[in-house]
Structure 1
Amino acid sequence: MADNIKHTSQVSKNEEDAISLRDLLLKLGEWRRYLLSKGLIIIIAGIIGGLVGLGYSLWKKTLYKASLSFVLDEQKGGGGMGSMSSLASLVGINLGGMEGAGLFTNENIMEFIKSKRMIKKTLLTNVNFDGKEQLLIDRYVDIKGLRESWAKNPKLEGFHFVPDTNDYIVQDSLIALYYKDIIKNQLKIDKPDKKLSIMQLDIKSEDELFAKVFCETLIDNVTEFYVQTLTKKSTENLNILTKQVDSVRRELDEAIGGVAIASEANPNPNPAFQRLKVPSQKKQIDVQANTAILTELVRQQEVARLNVRNDKPLIQALDRPVLPLEMERVGKAKGMVIGGFLFGFLTVLFLLTKKLFNEIMSEPIAHEI
């Protein structure tokens, strides 16, 4: 009895699956016939899409991409310094800055390159374009055709950018707008291989020379800023050491002169009067003390000078952009194919959705009848 019921249930389930599969095939066939009946509409939509794609390929300007790959040199200065002696500590020498700086690492150098400070500095850099000196930001304005809109704004009449100034509100406002456009549409920095420390900076622009020069100038400015930042404390310490060396050398010269004067005052002192030797002996002690201090300071000065040199390298460029640059553009044939396929697909999707919606809406009415 139970086996018969189980067998009957299995048969019913198989019949339902067969019916469902048949219904699906019938529905697909119905949709196919429906789409064939709308073939003219789909073809027209594809033609319109192809024309739109063609228009886009003609309207879209060619972009030039300048790529520069580099590695970050994380070498730390002060590797052979050790600690300063107590003598140097007494004269106020601080070695904290001679051990390198951890401001830039692989983790944050990419964000620093995209910082507003670096982009602004680069835009306000004066460079040579085909023998003509021009600010990069002026070149950017010309590429974008922004001077025409400036002519309609009284606040921008006769305006020009001025480097090395922080008191120009209009200039800062314009740079803030251009900065957003550059970060969003033109600048990209990434690590092509996450396992390696090699990074790549890409700059896209409608102007080939601008893309190349902006890319190189940005990296140069970042490197220059890093050198100044990383060597700031070590340079200050070197300057302090230099001043101390000069000061101790002057004191040593005076002590040597004092010994000579004291000796000349009593060229043949009476052995019975030992106090006559005291001035000369004091000057001798000053000479010995200043000689020891000067010797130590000169040694530390040379170490500090070497440390400043070791701190300088930051970015080692591997591949710089070379003309002609890589071009990015949408070809006419490619634009037509993509546009035609996209419009055709959207039209098919719209027709099927409309048909399905009409079928669902018509079911309750048929049921009531």
Structure 2
Amino acid sequence: MDPIKQDSGLESELTLKALILKIKAWISFLFSKKYIILIVGLLGGGLGLVYALYKKPAYVAELTFVVEDGKGGMLGAYAGIASQIGIDMPSETGMTGVFSGDNVIEFLQSRLIVEKALMTPIKGGDGKQITLADIFIDANELRKAWKGKPGLENLHYPPGLQREKFSLKQDSIIKVLYDKITKDNLDVTKPDKKLGFIAVKCSSADETFSKYFTDNLVKEATNFYIRTKTQRSKSNVDKLQMTADSIEHLLNKQSYAIARRMDINQNPAKSLATVPTELGVRDKMVLQTMFGEVLRNLEVSKMAMARETPVIQIVDTPSFPLKIEKLGKAKGIVIGGILAGFFICVWLIIRKLYKNIMES
């Protein structure tokens, strides 16, 4: 046998043997501390039970939707026709945007959309309008934590308050609410990476907040997306509509003017008197032709805007009563005991290692 391979095999055997002996030694050491571990585990289980008893239940609202993006773009021929009257109609529109790919996950958790949802007013229990921001503050008893801090204990977000009119304290607190919600309450995921379904989940101590915040978060996001997605097409439609209305007004005026001239010039022998009527008829025909072209381009633009408008299909919506997530007593005891036992074992091992190092 090759002596090098023999030595290598012997070294591996010794190393594995040493590792097994080490593990057995640590197990024996922890077993010798079994009463300490047991007592600490029981204390941890007790703490877990107390936590389960006093922890408020969380109301979970979950909404699932899918985005069907518009085809986007315009045919080159339509764009050419529209460009003749000064309307900007691009031949191709990119498919990228805030709702494409995984962008939607970050977009739904953006500060802009979360703040818009928080400022949504709903009818409270007393029949008065109250914003979701105030409901969240009350549900989490944040005003108690702010007690004694000037201007915070009575801080509110009244319905209809515009974002640009926030006071400095309101602006600071809305940022605190945003950070807390996105960290602890809001979860936006794609259940299946291969599919386009988006799941928005909100859990909080207030059932009303969970339901309406989820609904309005998706509503604000989709409204913002559709508005920005169709902005250019809507601008084109508005321009064409104004042009069509102006030509229609001129066409109506010209029709009435021709009728008046024909009523005045009843004598066909006077050829010169029929000239204004003939000119009016000619102008009317020109206006009719222009009006027909503008109407055709207007319909093309409306069709383009309809194609570019994405369809947000809501698959599942939260409804009362919401699902309740609560830590059960047994689960609290088990989790508390396991965690306490794990940490005391780690502490005992570190303490033993430190002692061995200091004695060596």
Normalising by structure 1, what TM-score?
Answer: 0.81
The Cα offsets for residues 20-42 of structure 1, whole Å up to 9 and x where unpaired, read as 66655655554444333322222
Q: Which residue of 1 aligns with 2:226?
A: 227
Deviates more, 1:54-63 or 1:15-24: 15-24
- Cα drift, residue 270 of structure 1: 5.7
Establish whether residue 142 from structure 1 lines up as the match of residue 129 from structure 2: no
Establish whether residue 153 from structure 1 lines up as the match of residue 149 from structure 2: yes
Contact 1:69 1:199 (C-alpha < 8 Å) held by counterparts: yes
Establish whether residue 168 from structure 1 lines up as the match of residue 199 from structure 2: no
Q: 1:66 aligns with which of 55, 61, 66?
A: 61
Q: Which residue of 1 aligns with 2:30?
A: 35
Q: Take 1:136 and 1:288, find their aligned partners in 2: how far apart are those partners?
A: 59
Contact 1:269 1:277 (C-alpha < 8 Å) held by counterparts: no
The Cα offsets for residues 321-362 of structure 1, whole Å up to 9 and x where unpaired, read as 133323333222222222222222333333334334444444
Q: Where do 1:1-369 residues align within 5 Å?
A: 27-76=22-71, 82-84=77-79, 86=81, 89-96=83-90, 103-107=97-101, 108-130=103-125, 132=127, 133-156=129-152, 158-162=154-158, 163-165=160-162, 166-169=164-167, 170-263=169-262, 264-265=264-265, 267-269=267-269, 278-363=275-360
- Cα drift, residue 190 of structure 1: 1.1
Structure 1 regions of 5+ residues with no counterpart? 364-369
Q: Take 2:58 and 2:250, find their aligned partners in 1: how far apart are those partners?
A: 67
- Cα drift, residue 187 of structure 1: 0.8
RMSD: 3.4
- Cα drift, residue 18 of structure 1: 6.6
Of structures 1 and 2, the larger Rg is shown by: 1
Q: Take 1:34 and 1:337, find their aligned partners in 2: how far apart are those partners?
A: 24
- Cα drift, residue 292 of structure 1: 0.4
Contact 1:68 1:320 (C-alpha < 8 Å) held by counterparts: yes
Q: Take 1:245 and 1:226, find their aligned partners in 2: how far apart are those partners?
A: 29
Contact 2:60 2:323 (C-alpha < 8 Å) held by counterparts: yes
Q: Take 2:299 and 2:11, find their aligned partners in 1: how far apart are those partners?
A: 92
Q: Take 2:192 and 2:245, find their aligned partners in 1: how far apart are those partners?
A: 52
Q: Take 2:88 and 2:104, find their aligned partners in 1: how far apart are those partners?
A: 28
Contact 2:69 2:308 (C-alpha < 8 Å) held by counterparts: no
Q: Take 1:240 and 1:336, find their aligned partners in 2: how far apart are those partners?
A: 68
The Cα offsets for residues 121-156 of structure 1, whole Å up to 9 and x where unpaired, read as 111111134573321111111101122344423323
Contact 1:76 1:100 (C-alpha < 8 Å) held by counterparts: no
Contact 1:78 1:307 (C-alpha < 8 Å) held by counterparts: yes
Q: Take 1:89 and 1:10, find their aligned partners in 2: how far apart are those partners?
A: 83
- Cα drift, residue 290 of structure 1: 0.6
- Sequence identity percentage: 33
Q: Take 1:269 and 1:98, find their aligned partners in 2: how far apart are those partners?
A: 60
Structure 2 CA distance for partners of 1:20 and 1:210, relative to 1, 3 Å: closer
Deviates more, 1:296-305 or 1:165-174: 296-305
Contact 1:97 1:233 (C-alpha < 8 Å) held by counterparts: no
The Cα offsets for residues 30-78 of structure 1, whole Å up to 9 and x where unpaired, read as 4444333322222222222222222332343222221111001201367
Contact 1:100 1:311 (C-alpha < 8 Å) held by counterparts: no
Secondary structure of 1:317's aligned partner? strand
Letter of the aligned partner of 1:268 in structure 2? P
Contact 2:229 2:308 (C-alpha < 8 Å) held by counterparts: yes
Secondary structure of 1:68's aligned partner? strand
Secondary structure of 1:213's aligned partner? helix
